[in-house]
Structure 1
């Protein structure tokens, strides 16, 4: 499997890390990612109505995207919430967080929709879980395309 040339550098490195492993070890790496998903900031954790549920995920997963102005322009900030007892879902969210957080809208929108399949997990986890990760990426891209604004 090849890595798409459109992937941003950090996401391409993550995909490469997965592809370099034996298939049985890829799930272990995904579970390691699940432990690095940052908690929501207080302003979001106290206001669940600001998050959107990704219904395609087997476990409850909520996300939002915010724009942040920087000296170099505007970047997107991603926020995910998934329960600790859903390590696969948390792992997927963490991969997307680490690979996309802080990128521009254009960089995120250029990520191919098949990026989740590039991780090489299609035989290690169920098709429903793969559909959930694809839905997470799709939801992030839709939110970015809709014109995300900085938080009030």
Structure 2
């Protein structure tokens, strides 16, 4: 993966993880878990408008907007919910929500599908959990593709 294809927020998150020992990477993932942004008011109570990420063991739901809420027409926002009892999954959702929100649709679509494999957590969490994060990214990109062509 070339850094040219990786937007700065995601590159910084990756570099932050890779600069740490394995135990500290898990701690950082837990910190991200605590920082999962809340759903915007218009989605609270309307969780049925979010898409379930079937690849995740825990119930994770995402919604993507492009050019809404005063953003430029091509700016993406990712919203996600995940249970507090699933800190790994919440952490992954938070990494993506924080790393993708604010990017353009083109930037989001250019993020390599293997990004979750590059942040140094493959040795620390199960392959099933990594697969869940890959699934989240794929669903976000699919929603962006659909919204950007509307």
Alignment of 1:3-152 (within 5 A): 4-68=3-67, 73-148=73-148
Which ranges in structure 2 are unaligned for 5 or more consecutive residues? none
Contact 1:75-1:104 at 8 Å conserved across structures:
yes
What SS does the aligned partner of 1:102 have?
A: coil
Tell me how far 1:72 sits from its aligned partner. Answer: 5.1
Structure 2 distance, partners of 1:28, 1:3, is 27
Alpha carbons of structure 1 residues 76 and 129: separation in structure 2 relative to 1, 3 Å: same
What SS does the aligned partner of 1:30 have?
A: helix
Which ranges in structure 1 are unaligned for 5 or more consecutive residues? none
What SS does the aligned partner of 1:147 have?
A: helix
For the aligned residues, what is the CA RMSD? 1.9
Count of aligned pairs between the two proteins = 149
Higher mean C-alpha displacement, 12-21 vs 34-43: 34-43
Contact 2:36-2:90 at 8 Å conserved across structures:
yes
